[in-house]
Amino acid sequence: MGKLYIVSTPIGNLEDITLRAKRILEEVDIIACEDTRKTGMLLTKLTKVPPSSRWNLNKRPQFLSYYEENELQRIPEIIQLLKEGKNVALVSNAGTPTISDPGFKLVRECLNQGVQVEAIPGSSAILTALVSSGLPTDKFLFLGYLPKKQGKRQELLKNCKLLTVHCTLIFFESPYRLLETLKELREIFGDIDIVICRELTKIHEEIRREKISQSILHFEKNPAKGEVTLLFNIPQG
C-alpha cells in the first residue's frame, strides 16, 4: 500500500520550500497537481535538473492532473494507484493543498480506504498574512474566498457581524472584486481598520494597514493585482 503525501509548496518565494517537501516531491511515484505545467516548472527550479530538461510522463515522478472539475474522476484512479503500492504527492499551484483548493475529498476517501495520509507542512497565505497583520492571533476564523455573487457575499458578511466570539476574520478575494467588497465591508461594519495583504512573499508584496475608506481611495486610483488576503476584527458592542 502506498502513501498519500499532502505537500505544501511556496506561495511566491521559492526559498520557502522545505527540505522535506523537496525530498518527497523527488521521491514519490506520482504527483497529483492542479496544473502539470506549473508544477513541472516548479520542480525544475527546485532541483538541479538543467533548465533545458523537463519533468514529464516518461520520468519519475509522473504527473496527474487533479483539479475541481475532474476531482471525482481522479479519486478512484489515485486510490487504485495507492493500493498498487505507488506513493502519491498532492500539491496545489501554491501553498497548502486542500485549503481553498481541491483535495479534502481525496484525503477523506484515502482514510476511508485505510490508506496512510501524511501532511508535509509549509507555506500558507493565511498564516503568513495573520502573523504579519498586527491583529490578534489567539483566535481567528478563515472563511475562504468570498462568494462571487453580491447577495451571497453580503449575507455572509452580515452573518459574520452576528458572531459572539471576538476573533480575527480572514478572507481571500479576487483583485477584480476587491474594490466592490471593500465598499460592502464599509457599509456593513463601518469605517473599521482593515489589513490587506497582496502578493505575499513575492517581489511586489504589499501589506496595507489602514481604515477601509483609505483602502477604497487607494484602490480606486491603483487597481489591485495579484492574490489578495483580507483581515479585520469586528468591533465589539
- Domain boundary at 100, 120, 140, which? 120
Residues 11 and 94 in one domain: yes
Average pLDDT, integer, range 35-50: 81
**Grid cell of 53 as nine digits:** 530538461
191 and 114 share a domain? Answer: no
* 150-154, 178-182, 189-193, 232-236: least confident range: 232-236
Is the preceding omega at residue 61 within 30 degrees of 0, hence cis? yes
Residue 39's contacts (CB-CB under 8 Å, 6 or more residues apart) are 31, 33, 63, 91, 93
Task: Provide, rounded to the nearest whole percent, the portion of the chain with pLDDT above 90.
Answer: 87
Are residues 193 and 210 in contact, defined by beta-carbon separation less than 8 angstroms? yes
Domain range enclosing 32: 3-120
Of 120, 137, 159, the one marking the end of a domain is 120
97 and 152 part of one domain: no
Output phi, psi for 208, to 5 deg.
-110, 130
Q: Are residues 84 and 164 in the same domain?
A: no
- Write out the three cell numbers for 138: 489567539
- What mean pLDDT do residues 10-14 have? 95
Which CATH number belongs to the domain containing residue 85 in this structure?
A: 3.40.1010.10
In this structure, the answer to whether residues 108 and 132 fall within a common structural domain is: no
Distance (Å, whole) CA 7 – CA 22: 9
> Can you give the CATH number for the domain in which 198 is found?
3.30.950.10
Q: How far is it, in rounded angstroms, from Cα 19 to Cα 4?
A: 18
Within this chain, do residues 31 and 62 fall inside the same structural domain, yes or no? yes
Domain match, 93 and 178 both:
no
The pLDDT tens digits of the residues spanning 167-216 come to 999 999 999 999 999 999 999 999 999 999 999 999 999 999 999 999 99
Q: Please identify, among 120, 155, 176, the residue that sits at the C-terminal boundary of a domain.
A: 120
> 50 and 12 share a domain?
yes
pLDDT tens by residue, 64-106: 999 999 999 999 999 999 999 999 999 999 999 999 999 999 9
